[in-house]
Chain A
């Protein structure tokens, strides 16, 4: 039984090739799952008794909100590994994940606003979940702009890692403080928790959409990390060889 040498793919040069091979698979999976998920969401899932058809935005809103939180944690883990073990590729992955996380975060915020208007009559309410999602968006922006402001890649990786870790420690503190702030300031005029019994098809549609978002996030991140690798390793011989082969 031969064991795979995992450390091989810690090198940006060999990971570049592996990522290139993996992207089409994840992209295709994500495309199929998006089609299936949207079909279930729009045609199979029943109309909600209270919210009518407008609730269907849930199929993109909830997966996007989930993704924005997962990606922040994953980004912080990658950044932390990069900081602790000095593995360049982990830091590149963290850098590549950040824009996708910020994208999902803004999708969640905007679709939330579109949902809120017909349901609550307001584009925005200072509800605990909405506010903490907004703050999460700010954390993403902070991470991205700090990395963008530092030219030296090594310093930018490590500074970004530190702020991502500080952010991850702070996320629960921020979440609970916003929650308490909300309950103290305004009564439970708007309750976001839906009826517990959700139709099975609704749940299935949502989970398939979440999976589709995962696949999309992986494909896009791998694509972006390839670009990051090329940019950072542009002076190395293997990139020069790659460019020569392309011609």
Chain B
């Protein structure tokens, strides 16, 4: 467990020292969301219907774009190889690194999303559900993304490649995340969707760190 604390502390410190990285992801998200009304027109009804989906797709893309940073710096300076040699479980290290990635790249999006939801005319109730669905869903994105990030480590064109690998796997999260807000709006209640998102999160927590650790060993052999 000490290794988890150590990695958490170190990565958080590094993230704090590179504030611009956090901000670029956040502003990508904001710009991305703002483009949609410009593209489809300002009718409030349309925007209200599209809002949850647009916010979720933007969160997906923002999360995917920031994946490159998950292991790249440690790979570049050789720290990652030391982590592989370390007798502690690599899956735990990956889990800790992914947790910090989520805190640095996705938590700001979750906090910003209700504000952007207001621009799409979502009701107060819907904003709560949106924030909750993002809170449950975005960690899954980071965890699944970690597999893609470790497989494409050091490859040419890795950034585009990771999107091909990871985006199809993000689809269930998108469906249940945006679906939660829709279900709430249509009076069905968001409970079912949020429970499924929670189930996906538990599944991802159990399975993906091991898979990402295996992928790292493949990439750094």
Which residues on A are within 8 Å of B, measured CB to CB? Answer: 135, 138-139, 141-142, 145-146, 149-150, 154-155, 158-159, 162-163, 166-167, 169-170, 173-174, 177-178, 180-181, 184-185
Contacts and interface: CB of A to CB of B under 8 A. Distances in A.
B218 A155 contact: yes
B218 A162 contact: yes
Given A146-B151, A150-B155, A155-B218, A162 B211 contact: yes
Contacts of A173: 172, 200
A143 to B, nearest CB: 8
A155 B221 CA distance: 8
Interface string B183-206: 100001000000010001000000
Contacts of A139: 168
Interface in B2-51: none
B218 A174 contact: no
Contacts of B161: 145-146, 149
Nearest to B214: A162
A87 B167 CA distance: 30
Q: Is the interface of A mostly helix, strand, loop or mixed?
A: helix
A135 B179 CA distance: 18
A75 B70 CA distance: 29
Contacts, number: 73
Contacts of A141: 164
Given A138-B164, A155-B219, A177-B175, A149 B169 contact: no
A174 B182 contact: no
A163 B165 contact: yes
Nearest to B161: A149
B133 interface: no
B21 to A, nearest CB: 25
A180 to B, nearest CB: 7
A63 B147 CA distance: 33
B87 interface: no
Contacts of B183: 184
A135 B182 CA distance: 22
B168 A159 contact: no
13 contacts: A146-B165, A149-B155, A149-B161, A150-B155, A159-B215, A159-B219, A166-B211, A169-B207, A170-B168, A170-B169, A177-B196, A178-B171, A184-B183
A149 B156 contact: yes
Contacts of B172: 170, 173-174, 177
Given A149-B152, A155-B219, A162 B168 contact: no
A185 B193 CA distance: 13
B120 interface: no
A145 B175 CA distance: 25
Contacts of B215: 159, 162
Given A163-B151, A170-B169, A180 B219 contact: no
Given A159-B215, A184-B182, 9 more contacts: A138-B167, A145-B161, A159-B151, A159-B218, A163-B151, A167-B169, A178-B171, A181-B175, A185-B182
